[in-house]
Amino acid sequence: MNAHADSMFDACLKEALVLSADWVPRWLAALGNALQQKEASAVGATEQRSAGQARATLAAYQQRVTEHFLTALSQSMGSAAAGQGDPDPVTGKAPARRLDTLSLDDLELMDHQQVQHTVELARIQQVVKMAVEEELVLLDARLSSARGLTVVSSKANPLHPEAIIGALIRALSKLHIEDDVRVQWLHIGALPLGQELRRFYRQLVDLLDRWGVQPAGYKVVQTPVGKPADRGASRSSEDGLPMAAMTSKNELLTLDHLHQLLVGNVARGSNDATDPSRALEANAMVRTLAVEVVTLMLRGIAEDVRLLGPVRELLLRLKPVLLALARNDPRFFADRSNPARRLLDVLTERALAFKSEQDAGFQAYVQQLRTIEQDLQVPASQLSQRIGELLARLGRTDPVTQAPARGLAMQTLVKVEQRNLLAERVASEIQARNDFARAPGVVRRFLTGAWAQVVAQARIRAQAGDGLTPGDAPALRYMDVLPDLLWSSQHELASLNRPRLVKIIPGLLRTLREGLDSIDYPRAQADSFFQALMELQEPAYKPRRDEDEAGIDLPDTWVHPVEARDSGFMDDLRIESQPGFQDTEPMDPDWLRQRQTETTSNSRPLAVGTWVDLRDGDEDLRCQLTWASPHGTMFLFNAANGRSVSLTLRGLERLREMGRLKVVADHGLVDDALNAVTRQAFLNSGRL
């Protein structure tokens, strides 16, 4: 983004705030007229009294509403100019969670009032969006260009309807008014708000056109391989029908329905023995809602492109079984400990291990799915027991978590982490010595690197009990050589006492070789250090400037060759030796912004259970993070073919930066499908 684009965007926001001072009072006046008309046409005294109270309260609070609304809009625009997200509609804190990204877990934690509040917002957003649809497209294109983008991004528009409505909600929350009054203001004011925003957007579009801002273009982006399909309002099935059209003709799932199903309120009347008809009606509604949720969930799984085609087809064949379960246990899909839900999670998780139908083990997995489908063809009363048996059997045959070498790799990496953490403490001890800072750089790096690993390994062995007396313990001898090593490497000091230098060198070199051999330190690197050390100890040697001024390298993670073999360790140095690009070409600003977004996303720590695509040389692996060390410095990945790959935290971050490790799924596919159902219920709520 260049300075000209920044100034154009900021100028537009300032003008938007000026225009808001005009349209906000107009909207409140239109709201007052609408309330007056409702009062006049009300049917019954109660409705008339309610509308009259809302109108009178608005007249009393109009000035305060205007001030609070404009303040909230100013704060929202200020957050956008600073590159922050929209403030939360209730708390005012940034960034807010968009309401159309609700998850099933979010909904389950809400109380009835919060659900109703969310439904109200959904309806208002739907009305306003329909009113401003054309103008919003035009404004998005121009504000994207004003922000230096060549491709339209709705996120570049801080004046979208959700932000305006969020500011209104925050403004109203500061007033001590009755909930019924606030609800009437929002519901009756939705249409005039949409009309005012349409005029507001048109004014901004005309302004940007006069300033010579050309609209950004639209770019068709295909769904990336390995990512789930978009499950928003425009999602379509294979036959091109929108998701809403695929729901039951008699039932349209809403947030209120889904929430009642989750918390059990729908069936509250089923225990009322005095009203059998009400109990039957409640039970019927529970079963209907559960069937609808399970149907939509399965469709979501079937559309997830991270699963191979044959797997999706076989999972769909489980629909009759899952619908039967939903009729008997309507909340099974929301309970992660429920055997049926666990079975779905296990099957979809294992399916992520395969990138193509040619992968080793895929056909065996498909056959396993077919066998499970056949095993579940039992009466509904026997399903729970049969599913439990299947789960126990699947737990013994997981090709990833039951890999023979996995236990050995985990034990090995725990030892590696312990040794390297201890080596860091040893390095700190060495650096704290008074004679350390005066030593040449090559010696300082050696002591805080390889020699710290030697001492750490010796201390671990001593703790395990090696039968040596304290005086013979290698850990003590390896630390005892430090005074001689540091003194002998300093020409000015050593030249003052040549007899001592001649006397200590044989024993010093012998101890150093013994220590390095104890960790199988590469002989070539050891010889290189000894050569440099001998040069330092030559009376005629003059220290080289580049070595003396070199910084102190803290110990890298040291992995013994045998440990590397047992854990599939990928060396950090080998990772960094491979370039992150091949051909040099002009930098595309849009690509750079996208890359920065991906980098921010990739900075999140990986959780155990995450599936990734990992490129190791010419080999592409689909792996699962099955273990992380207690201190978070070592990570173990396992593939379905039995291969293990271990990485340090530094190596993992480096691979992510280079694009050689990409997250495929960081949580369950069933969770994704159910969250899509929740978002669809949110959209449906706005249409009613």
Average pLDDT along the chain: 80
Closest CA to 426 of 479, 473, 489: 479
Residues 316, 419 within the same domain: no
pLDDT reading at 438 higher than 50 = yes
Q: What is the pTM of this model?
A: 0.67
Closest CA to 415 of 461, 446, 355: 461
pLDDT reading at 325 higher than 60 = yes
Residues 301, 371 within the same domain: yes
Q: Which residues of 432-459 are buried (b: 16+ CB within 10 A; e: fewer)?
A: eeeebeebbbbbbbbbbbbbbbbbbbbb
Say which range, 1-10, 180-189, 654-663, has the weakest mean pLDDT. Answer: 1-10
Residue-wise pLDDT for 367-418, tens only, equals 999 999 999 999 888 888 899 899 888 876 666 655 556 678 888 888 888 8
Give the end of a domain, one of 395, 419, 441. Answer: 395
pLDDT reading at 343 higher than 90 = yes
| 160 vs 484: CA distance, rounded Å | 71
- For range 351-358, the mean pLDDT: 91
Residue-wise pLDDT for 186-223, tens only, equals 989 999 999 999 999 999 999 999 999 999 887 654 44
594 or 54: which leads in pLDDT: 54
Residue 680, in any domain of the structure = no
Give the end of a domain, one of 558, 584, 613. Answer: 558
Can you give the residue range of the structural domain that contains 542? Answer: 411-558
Sheet with 634-639: strands ordered across:
644-648, 634-639, 619-628, 611-616, 661-665
- Check if the beta carbon of residue 443 is closer than 8 Å to that of residue 682: no
Residues 197, 259 within the same domain: no
| 352 vs 360: CA distance, rounded Å | 13
CATH of the domain at 650: 2.30.30.140
Residue 368, in any domain of the structure = yes
Residue 648, in any domain of the structure = yes
Got the DSSP string for 263-322?
A: HT-GGGGGG-TT-HHHHHHHHHHHHHHHHHHHHHHHHHHHT-TTS-HHHHHHHHTTHHHH
Residue 230, in any domain of the structure = no
Say which range, 148-162, 281-295, 372-386, 467-481, has the weakest mean pLDDT. Answer: 467-481
Which pLDDT score, from 0 to 100, does residue 688 have? 58
pLDDT reading at 298 higher than 70 = yes
Which amino acid, one-letter code, is at 64?
A: R
Which pLDDT score, from 0 to 100, does residue 243 have? 37
- For range 50-59, the mean pLDDT: 93
Residue-wise pLDDT for 478-519, tens only, equals 999 999 899 888 877 877 888 888 888 889 999 999 999 888
Residues 340, 205 within the same domain: no
Which amino acid, one-letter code, is at 242?
A: P
Residues 43, 169 within the same domain: yes
pLDDT reading at 250 higher than 90 = no
Ranked by mean pLDDT, the top range of 345-354, 493-502, 676-685 is 345-354
Residues 88, 48 within the same domain: yes
Residue 405, in any domain of the structure = no
Ranked by mean pLDDT, the top range of 383-397, 561-575, 668-682 is 668-682
3-state helix, strand, coil in the chain (%, to 5): 65, 5, 30
Which pLDDT score, from 0 to 100, does residue 381 have? 85
Residues 127, 67 within the same domain: yes
Give the pLDDT band of residue 284 (cuts 50, 70, 90): confident
At 570, phi and psi to the nearest 5? -105, 110
Q: Which residues of 285-315 are buried (b: 16+ CB within 10 A; e: fewer)?
A: bbbbbbbbbbbbbbbbbbbbebbbebbbebb
pLDDT reading at 233 higher than 80 = no
Residue 219, in any domain of the structure = no
Please count the helices (runs of H) and the strands (runs of E) in the chain.
27, 5
Residues 336, 464 within the same domain: no
| 628 vs 646: CA distance, rounded Å | 10
Residue 688, in any domain of the structure = no
Contacts of 673 (CB under 8 A, 6+ apart): 296, 297, 298, 299, 300, 301, 304
Residue 307, in any domain of the structure = yes
| 578 vs 557: CA distance, rounded Å | 19
Which pLDDT score, from 0 to 100, does residue 530 have? 86
| 49 vs 339: CA distance, rounded Å | 53
Residues 70, 202 within the same domain: yes
Residues 435, 326 within the same domain: no
Residues 577, 450 within the same domain: no
Helix (H, G, I), strand (E, B) or coil at 612: strand
| 49 vs 45: CA distance, rounded Å | 6
Interhelix angle 383-395/319-328, nearest 10 degrees: 120
- From the CB of residue 174, how many other CB atoms can be counted at a distance below 10 Å? 15
Which pLDDT score, from 0 to 100, does residue 66 have? 95
Give the end of a domain, one of 395, 428, 455. Answer: 395
Residues 386, 480 within the same domain: no
401 or 120: which leads in pLDDT: 120
pLDDT reading at 42 higher than 60 = yes
Q: How far apart are the first and last CA of the chain?
A: 42
Q: How many domains does the chain have?
A: 4
Q: What Rg, from alpha-carbon coordinates, does the chain have? A: 34
Which pLDDT score, from 0 to 100, does residue 5 have? 54
- For range 332-336, the mean pLDDT: 89
607 or 472: which leads in pLDDT: 607
How far from chain centre, in Å, is Cα 486? Answer: 49
Contacts of 384 (CB under 8 A, 6+ apart): 339, 340
